[in-house]
Structure 1
């Protein structure tokens, strides 16, 4: 299957890459040429900068029309589901009112008893604005901008989203990152070493959700 080789940039995932080329994300992810990538990354939403993705050529669609008349075509943008779990002090925010804004669109609702919310957005959407009106809090969520769990930036991003790390997402195991890892190890009752070892990676993936 001929296609284009795309080098992953920070903040990209399979859905956003597929949208750039006008190809369904499942077509890209399930392409035989991406078998090694699937084995390494396992999750189409979590890629690392520098990963190589083969994007199959989009198949042209034929639509018969009558000449001499005006015609209207509706282009449907592929959509993806965004799942979020909201917590405060590591406890789920139950029945929390929220508002999600993207472009000119807006979604309102309440979280579940487990603090979960789900939204369906266009696959080429880069970011969302999440507002919790009762708490008067607003967050900008950058979609796809999370690295694999076995990378330092992957740890930093997850710990940041959990409120345990406030430093730069630079991929460096500096003092702030080490301190955040130690704190996470302590609350998870792991050996407090500050090292981002396999046991810590597994615990963080389970706690975070992926």
Structure 2
């Protein structure tokens, strides 16, 4: 989402499009995230999506008008302190698909063929990296002990976990699935679900994709990645 002008007046109600989030809208309109998310007119949206990170296309988000900054008069030569409201979004990612290969050691973050940066994973294997709130598709290249793997991530574009497409997206984010997230139960999707179930220690029952599997996948993936 590109920068947008001040909505002015009493603000606007914005229908979110695909891959838009509270962070990206706040960034585009020059607001802090909390200004939008904590606004009383977004109370219903907070009830629908308590974590505030997984919104659906078509959700209505109120965007208030910007207020002019006010500054206390201070003598020349005195120190002035300013606080930046639009801070980067934070990606937190832990690759689960290579359990048994050891924890992640080092990583690279790429957009297409462009290297955005390199880093070292935290002690528990978490990969943490600041991103612009408007970042969309990136790849995290993870290095384990003598082994590396690419994890393509599509940010802010998760369908509900109740849909098969949403399941595929989360399996892909965790490295189990590399196919097209099209909502079709194909062989690659069955293999990915089976691999996830085995690693998560879920019982081997007749229903491949039960509510328990969805709930566990939801928890493993985490809905606060960005």
Using the size of structure 1 for normalisation, the TM-score is 0.75
Return the match for 1:158 from 170, 173, 178.
170
Structure 2 Cα separation of the partners of residues 200 and 129 of structure 1: 26
Contact 2:91–2:129 under 8 Å retained in 1: yes
Cα pair 2:104 2:126 within 8 Å, conserved: no
- Paired position in structure 2 for 1:90: 99
For 1:99 and 1:163, locate their aligned partners in 2 and report how far apart those are by CA, in whole Å: 16
2:77 corresponds in structure 1 to none
Retained in 2: the 8 A contact 1:165–1:176?
no
- The match for 1:174 is 185
Describe the SS at the equivalent of 2:217.
Answer: helix
Q: What is the rounded CA distance, in whole Å, between the counterparts of 2:152 and 2:220 in structure 1?
A: 22
* 1:183 alignment partner in structure 2: 194
- Give the Cα separation in 1 of the matches to 2:104 and 2:208: 36
Which one of the candidate residues 180, 190, 194 is aligned to 2:208? 194
Q: Is the 8 A contact 1:98 1:109 kept in 2?
A: yes
2:54 to 39, 46, 49: 46
For structure 2, the 5+ residue unaligned runs are 1-8, 73-81
Question: Structure 2: how far apart are the matches of 1:96 and 1:117?
Answer: 9
In 2, Cα distance between equivalents of 1:21 and 1:36: 21
The match for 2:135 is 125
Which residue number in structure 2 is paired with residue 203 of structure 1?
Answer: 216
Q: Is the 8 A contact 1:86 1:93 kept in 2?
A: no
Equivalence for 2:119: 109
Q: Are 1:15 and 1:123, in contact at CA under 8 Å, matched by a contact in 2?
A: yes
Q: Aligned equivalents of 1:105 and 1:94: distance in 2? A: 22
User: Once superposed, what is the RMSD of the aligned Cα atoms?
Assistant: 3.5
- What is the alpha-carbon distance in structure 1 between the residues aligned to residue 192 and residue 151 of structure 2? 24
> What are the Cα deviations for residues 3-57 of structure 1, in whole angstroms up to 9, with x where unaligned?
2222222222211121122211111111222222112222222111122211222
Deviation at 1:199, TM superposition (A): 2.2
> How many residues align structurally?
200
8 Å Cα contact 1:8/1:49 also seen in 2: yes
* Superposition pairs of residues 10-49 of structure 1, within 5 angstroms: 10-49=18-57
1:63: Cα distance to partner? 6.7
